Amino acid sequence: MMMQFVGHHLRGERAELLELWYKSIRKVSVIVLPLVVVLLVAAEELIALFYPDNYADAVIPFRIYTFILLQRVASYSNMQKALGSTAPITHSAIYLFLINAALSVPLVLWLGMAGPPLAALLANIFSWWYALHNIQVLLKVRFREVFPFGFYAKALGVAVLAAVPVFGLKMAVELPRYFSFFILAACYLPIYLVLARTTGIIEESDWRRLMNKLGFLRKK
């Protein structure tokens, strides 16, 4: 895909470049966002699966760090490289470090163990904005055009909506400790697939590809 990015850029095909960029983000979003939501909903169960009871407080920083994954739906550095801009990638890493360093101690004093992950989250939010802003400037488009915000919001909404009955199950039923995470994940997946297919988040071609992988359909 990197080669296609470069090719579109060199030929001045901004619309085609953006469409490929959007497509890659859409494909990744339908996988990453539900996985993030599952980890957020079943954080206690996942921690309990691997660690003893005295690690229960780790759920809070785990959840905060997990929020960082919400923006990991695109390779922002690859897009900037394809557009011939590499210095901002280094600048972004420096800003990420400096914001973390500046916020960690004050947030630790204020919030305790939740401070460092919150500092990391805020630093990553800035880094995300900075990367998108740089891509926007390079492509000479409006900020709202540099990322498929509408699709992303819809996909995130579907992922969160699918978690509502699963969260209800978690609150209503005491699940066996070493199987609870898998039970919640197994309940979430079909609900998400149905909602994502119904709302068009998962396209027909992707659905058929998934069914082929699972063996429900056979290629002719």
Please list, in sequence order, all residues whose beta carbon lies within 8 angstroms of the beta carbon of residue 135, skipping any fewer than 6 positions away. 76, 79, 80, 83, 146
pLDDT in tens, 132-185: 999 999 999 999 999 999 999 999 999 999 999 999 999 999 999 889 999 999
Residue where one domain finishes, among candidates 95, 119, 146: 146
pLDDT value of position 220:
46
Is the residue at 48 inside a domain? yes
CA–CA distance, 199 with 34 (Å, rounded to integer): 15
User: Do 141 and 166 belong together in one domain?
Assistant: no
Residue where one domain finishes, among candidates 102, 129, 146: 146
Q: Which domain holds residue 135?
A: 85-146
pTM of the model: 0.90
User: Do 26 and 117 belong together in one domain?
Assistant: no
* Residue whose pair of structure tokens reads 């959007």 in the numeric block: 22
Buried residues in 59-97 as b, exposed as e (16+ CB within 10 A): ebbbbbbbbbebbebbbbebbbebbeeeebbeebeeebe
User: Do 10 and 40 belong together in one domain?
Assistant: yes
